[in-house]
Amino acid sequence: MKKFMIIIGLLLVVFSFASKDVIVVGTTDKIRTLDPANCYDYFSSNILQNVLSGPVDYEIGTANIKPWLFESWDVSDDGLVYTFHIRKDAYFEDGTQIDANVFKYSFDRVMKLNGDPAFLLTDVVEKTEVVDKFTFRVTLKSKFSAFVSVLGYTVAFPVNPKVFPEDNFFEGAPSASGPYKITEWIRDIRIVLEENPKYFGPKPKTPKIIIQFYENAQQLRLALETGEVDIAYRHLDPRDILDLKNVPGIKVYLGASPQIRYLVVNVKQKPFDNPLVRQAIALAVDRETIVNDIFVGLAKPLYSMVPAGMWSHEDVFPKRDLKAAVEILKVAGYTKDNPLVIDLWYTPSHYGTTEADVAQVLKESLEQTGVIKVNIKYAEWSTYVEYFLNGTMGLFLLGWYPDYLDPDDYLWPFLSINGAKSLGSFYENKNVEDLMVAARAATDQFSREMIYKLVQNFHAAEVPYIPLWQGSADCEAHDYIDGIILEPTQIFRYYILERK
């Protein structure tokens, strides 16, 4: 009898997964934190984008900002004071209304706690004010033409003061204000999103989304092919993606992406404190082998931190030149008899199972100089983040998804003094920062573009980061799923997914 009941229970689970009210998504990614004040990785941020509402949003499928919690705003003539008018029908799941006091609490909390993404506000915000219940005012330190775009990132999303403590980060599930609320979260195993009845916007197309976490790409592919999941999103191996194009009943979605991958160089750590060493490494890396052999053409080489296709992009880094790398190393005092010995770090699962192969190609390409010796080291993501924040690692792989679609987001977080600390390069150049401040203040794109091209050239000369490749967006799903859009913003919207 007991065995019979277990079988019935399993059948009920399978039936519920097949219901039009439920979609199951599989991923190998991980959630680090769901506190907007400390959330600065792609997957965690994307969960928040489906659970919380932001001051502004993007029109679906575009890079066009639209009002959201902020219905409208006024900007002072000097460009320093933003007065935001808040909609009156927005609530958290417990019924707490989102008003100017909530926004002030949330902005001030981010800046006070000074978590990973806080510099996006602290670098520009002078003060916040409650004008009245539904009017919130922000005064900037200096003019910043892309400020409203920053508000589309989760660091500016309001949190419930009754749930999120003022003096500490919150490690639990947030109080929802978006289309879904979190009803179950077993870290690294499963998170369940269910329709939030307090949400002011359109109802989700599917009332319940179950996100299952897998250890590796092989498990995820098997789960997709057997129907254990309806959608695979982050990260299948590139060759699996190509294979699945030929599997009946499965659809592969591919799209352009402003996602970039790069090496971070800790400029305060020996021997990387020598710019000649950094320049030689940049000349020796083999981008072509990475994109062709590992990513089978689903990526392309990148020679600037500003992604190709974005205005102001310029190929400022030189292409591979081993002979030039050897000559620079010789000037720096390194030869075959006195080699440069370095550690190269990677994290094995956060970016998918290809990361170890990338590290190996980088090791081989650097060692082809005959002068560099590379020791490969790795750490899991939580430890990895701790290591780059405290300066443990000298040379390591990292990736970037945009906070806001503007060249500023590919330069300021990396080259500003506070941003560089957050990303582990510890680069400091006040002249470069001043140039970026000037670009932020400029109102015409031509002026900003000229400044950003100059900044990119500074970056290529001083090499606190080495751009490697620009990825593509992908998602794999059974053909009965609708609503998958690979957006330029990289927001994956679970609430528009539905079964046919």
Q: Are strands 372-378 and 340-346 parallel, antiparallel or unpaired?
A: parallel
User: How do 208-213 and 22-27 pair as beta strands?
Assistant: parallel
Residue 14 confidence (pLDDT):
45
In a domain, residue 87? The reply is yes
| 164 found inside a domain | no
**Average pLDDT of the segment spanning 99-106:** 98
226-240: pLDDT as tens digits: 999 999 999 999 999
CATH number of the domain that residue 450 is part of:
3.10.105.10
Is 468 in the same domain as 479?
A: no
% of the chain residues with pLDDT over 90: 94
Per-residue pLDDT at 4 exceeds 90: no
Sign of CA dihedral 398, 56, 307, 244: positive
Do 107 and 183 lie in one domain? The reply is: no
Q: Are 470 and 257 in contact (CB under 8 A)?
A: yes
Residues 6 or more apart whose Cβ sits within 8 Å of residue 16: 22
Instruction: For residue 361, report the phi and psi dihedrals to the nearest 5 degrees.
Output: -65, -40
3 state SS of 70 = strand
Return the beta strands (E) in 196-249 as ranges. Answer: 208-213, 231-232
CATH code of 239's domain: 3.40.190.10
Q: How far apart are CA 454 and CA 460, in angstroms?
A: 10
pLDDT of residue 19: 81
* pLDDT tens string 53-76: 999 999 999 999 999 999 999 999
DSSP assignment letter at 297: T
**Does residue 248 share a domain with residue 262?**
no
- CA gap 191, 209 in Å, rounded: 8
Amino acid, res. 178: G
- Cα distances from 44 to residues 33, 72, 469, 482, in angstroms, run 6, 28, 23, 23
- Region of residue 461 (left: phi > 0; alpha: psi -120 to 50; beta: else): alpha
- Contact assessment for residue 423 and residue 407, using Cβ atoms and an 8 Å cutoff: no
Which pLDDT score, from 0 to 100, does residue 74 have?
98
> DSSP of 17-32, one letter per residue?
HHSTTEEEEEES----
Same domain, 381 and 262: yes
- Is 450 domain-assigned? yes
Let me know if residue 41 belongs to a domain.
no
Residue 85 lies in a domain: yes
Q: What is the pLDDT of residues 416-458, one digit of tens each?
A: 999 999 899 999 999 999 999 999 999 899 999 999 999 999 9
Q: Which H helix or E strand runs over 192?
A: strand 190-195
pLDDT at 1: 45
Tokens 């508000």: give the residue.
151
Task: Quickly count: other Cβ atoms within 10 Å of residue 168's Cβ.
Answer: 11
Of 12 and 412, the structure prediction assigns the larger pLDDT to: 412
452 membership: H or E segment, kind and range: helix 445-462
pLDDT tens track for 140-199: 999 999 999 999 999 999 999 999 999 999 999 999 999 999 999 999 999 999 999 999
Position of tokens 């006195």? Answer: 338
Statement to judge: residues 131 and 210 lie in one domain: no
Range of the domain at 19: 15-32+175-255+473-499
pLDDT of residue 18: 60
**Amino acid identity of 149?**
S
270, 417: one domain: yes
Query: pLDDT tier at 345 (50, 70, 90 boundaries)?
Result: very high
The region of weakest confidence among 68-72, 286-290, 351-355 is 351-355
pLDDT, mean of residues 34-48: 97
What residues have CB less than 8 Å from 356, skipping those under 6 apart?
346, 348, 378
Tokens representing residue 481 in the block: 């799923």
**Is the per-residue pLDDT at 2 higher than 70?**
no
Residues 315 and 384 in one domain: yes
The residue count of the chain comes to 500
Q: Report CA dihedral (430, 435, 437, 439) to the nearest 10 degrees.
A: -170
Q: Looking at the structure, do residues 375 and 423 belong to the same domain, yes or no?
A: yes
Q: Which residue has the tokens 């409208």?
A: 72
pLDDT digit string (tens) for 17-37? 468 899 999 999 999 999 999
Residue 270 has pLDDT above 70, yes or no: yes
Name the nearest CA neighbour of 198 among 88, 49, 96: 96
Q: Are the CB atoms for 241 and 253 separated by under 8 Å?
A: no
Same domain, 235 and 262: no
- In three-state secondary structure terms, 137 is strand
- The total domain count for the chain is 3
Q: H or E segment at 243?
A: helix 238-244
**C-alpha count within 13 angstroms, C-beta hemisphere, residue 120:** 30
Do 250 and 269 share a domain, yes or no?
no
- Identify whether the C-beta of residue 87 lies closer than 8 Å to the C-beta of residue 57: no
Are 367 and 329 contained in the same domain?
yes
Contact between residue 149 and residue 57 where contact means Cβ atoms under 8 Å apart: no
Shared-domain flag, residues 345 and 302: yes
- Indicate which CATH number applies to the domain containing 117: 3.90.76.10
Q: Which residue has the higher pLDDT, 316 or 8?
A: 316
Identify whether 167 is part of a domain.
no
398 pLDDT band, cuts 50/70/90, is very high
**Ramachandran sector of residue 58 (left: φ over 0; alpha: ψ -120 to 50; beta: rest):** beta
Residue 43 inside a domain? The answer is: no
Query: Which residues are within 8 A (CB) of 15 and not within 5 positions of it... i.e. 6 or more apart?
Result: none
Tell me, yes or no, whether 170 lies in a domain: no
**What is the C-alpha to C-alpha distance for residues 25 and 223, in angstroms, rounded to an integer?**
10
3-state SS, residue 3: helix
> What mean pLDDT is reported for the chain?
95
